[in-house]
Structure 1
Amino acid sequence: MRTLVIGDIHGGYRALEQVLDKAKVTVQDKLIFLGDYVDGWSESPQTIDKLISLSEKQECIFILGNHDLWCKLWLTEGKSNPIWLAHGGKETIDSYIKTGLITSKKHLNFFESLKNYYIDFNQRLFIHAGFTSMHGVTREEYQSNYYWDRTLLETALLAEELPSKKIENKMPQRFTHYKEIYIGHTPTTNYKINEPIFAYNLINVDTGAAFKGKLTILDIDSKEFWQSDVLTKLYPNEKGRN
């Protein structure tokens, strides 16, 4: 059995189908999704349908992303905001209305079940964005950091660049609690990188599927990964998120 982690999908259902096929995923594989399943491309409801279907056949862990929280608030309470609408929310609303899945109980249950983070038996942490507490995710932490923080990635990238003699090979304290940390949220394409970023014990698997990048699925043991085509190729008549 493999454990595979999947980066931010952002309504790119076709990319999800493609990477699952490329990785030859079977029902024996455990799948961990890092959040942001919606907002961007036109198939957010279809993406959620696919995730629900996968969870009925095999072990799946679903992490809450900031876009999922926005969508959840809209589906459950009718709440929206200009920031969400400008960053893929309008496309998600339109697609839910078009598909008629706006009242789907399965979809509501899916969004209600999303986890803030997941820690496996090998002390590997899976979280959408990050955390700021030196004590780890379970103490002295604002919940919103789990799906908004970018400082964890920034710290890992900066620490990776420091000469080891200056820091005496001492890992920044936030990283010492976990064997590995897997995140999404910040596209690696922001750094002009099209593949997962490895820095210290942190791995960023968001390779820009919301924009002009690809969707990535990664084996956490072998570190082998597979990627979809760029989303603009899969959705040639759409712009995705700006």
Structure 2
Amino acid sequence: MRILAIGDIHGCSQAFDTLMEAIKLQPTDRLITLGDYVDRGPDSKGIIDRLIGLNYTGQLVALRGNHEIMMLDADRYPHRLEGWLACGGRETLASYAPSSKKKGKLNDIPDEHWNFITNICQDWWETKEHFFVHANVNPHKPLSQQSSHDLFWTRFYHAQPHYSGKTMICGHTSQKSGQPISLGYAICIDTWVYGKGWLTCLDVNSGQIWQANQKGEQRTAWIEEFSTYCAISS
């Protein structure tokens, strides 16, 4: 069984579809998506639709990202709407608009999508050798005791080995180089797909990497090629 992790998608359905074609998902595979499905890119609605479909197969483990948190807060607390819109929410609402001549509204987002973000997405997930979070962790605390700030907002800078000895797989800190970064004990696979980068999938057991971009291009590599000399960007 392959355990495949995909970094921050940000509404980039062309890159996501191309990546899924490249990895050729098998019935025995487990797919972990690391959050930030919405905002910035052009097709947040399409990405949530695709993930809901994958969830029905029983193969998907979908984590929440800070952009899903902002989206939920914008719906619950009206005074936070403008903050979310400024961070990519406008692009998200546009993808839900009933026509190109109308602006999307929060009410245009279907209940099934809210349910996916609220009840299906998880804060973290782990195996015997790896754990998966959106952003980062406090290295001295178990996953069940992590703060929301660490799980959703803390950058990859100065990531430390977790006391469990497991390897952390995360996103959130976009690598403007388009390349993932591996510290050995921690791997970041947010590779700036909504900018000029790529969407990355990592087979955590073999170390194989697949990447795709919004132009429909593909490339492959191995995580060993991206060690600590790679620059960490914000």
TM-score normalized by the length of structure 2: 0.81
Matched, 1:105 2:111: yes
Matched, 1:125 2:128: no
User: What residue is the counterpart of 1:217 in the other structure?
Assistant: 201
Following the alignment from structure 1 to structure 2, what is the Cα–Cα distance between the partners of residues 78 and 13?
Answer: 28
Question: Which runs of structure 1 show a deviation greater than 3 angstroms over 4 or more consecutive aligned residues?
Answer: 74-83, 98-101
Deviation at residue 145 of structure 1 after TM alignment: 1.8
Contact 1:7 1:34 in 2 (8 A): yes
Letter paired with 2:32: I
User: What residue is the counterpart of 1:177 in the other structure?
Assistant: 164
Deviation at residue 23 of structure 1 after TM alignment: 0.9
Following the alignment from structure 2 to structure 1, what is the Cα–Cα distance between the partners of residues 50 and 37?
Answer: 11
User: What residue is the counterpart of 2:223 in the other structure?
Assistant: none
Matched, 1:13 2:16: no
Deviation at residue 70 of structure 1 after TM alignment: 1.4
Following the alignment from structure 2 to structure 1, what is the Cα–Cα distance between the partners of residues 123 and 86?
Answer: 24
Deviation at residue 144 of structure 1 after TM alignment: 2.4
Name which of structure 1's ranges 220-229 and 69-78 shifts more when overlaid on structure 2. Answer: 69-78
Higher normalized helix content (fraction of residues):
1
Aligned length: 209
Following the alignment from structure 1 to structure 2, what is the Cα–Cα distance between the partners of residues 87 and 175?
Answer: 30
Letter paired with 2:141: H
Deviation at residue 43 of structure 1 after TM alignment: 0.5
Following the alignment from structure 2 to structure 1, what is the Cα–Cα distance between the partners of residues 73 and 23?
Answer: 33
Contact 1:34 1:183 in 2 (8 A): yes
Following the alignment from structure 1 to structure 2, what is the Cα–Cα distance between the partners of residues 80 and 42?
Answer: 22
Letter paired with 2:37: Y
Deviation at residue 226 of structure 1 after TM alignment: 0.6
Deviation at residue 97 of structure 1 after TM alignment: 2.5
Name which of structure 1's ranges 2-11 and 126-135 shifts more when overlaid on structure 2. Answer: 126-135
User: What residue is the counterpart of 1:237 in the other structure?
Assistant: none
Counterpart pick for 2:150 among 138, 145, 148:
145
Matched, 1:204 2:188: yes
TM-score normalized by the length of structure 1: 0.79
Letter paired with 1:14: Q
Mapping for residues 181-192 of structure 1, pairs under 5 Å: 181-189=168-176
Deviation at residue 79 of structure 1 after TM alignment: 5.9
Contact 1:207 1:213 in 2 (8 A): yes
Name which of structure 1's ranges 32-41 and 129-138 shifts more when overlaid on structure 2. Answer: 129-138
Q: Which runs of 5+ in 2 are unaligned?
A: 217-234
What RMSD, in angstroms, separates the aligned Cα atoms of the two structures? 2.1
Change (3 A) 1:73 1:97: farther
Deviation at residue 200 of structure 1 after TM alignment: 3.0
Cα deviation digits, residues 13-72 of structure 1 (max 9, x gap): 111111010111133211000000000111001100000001112411111100011122
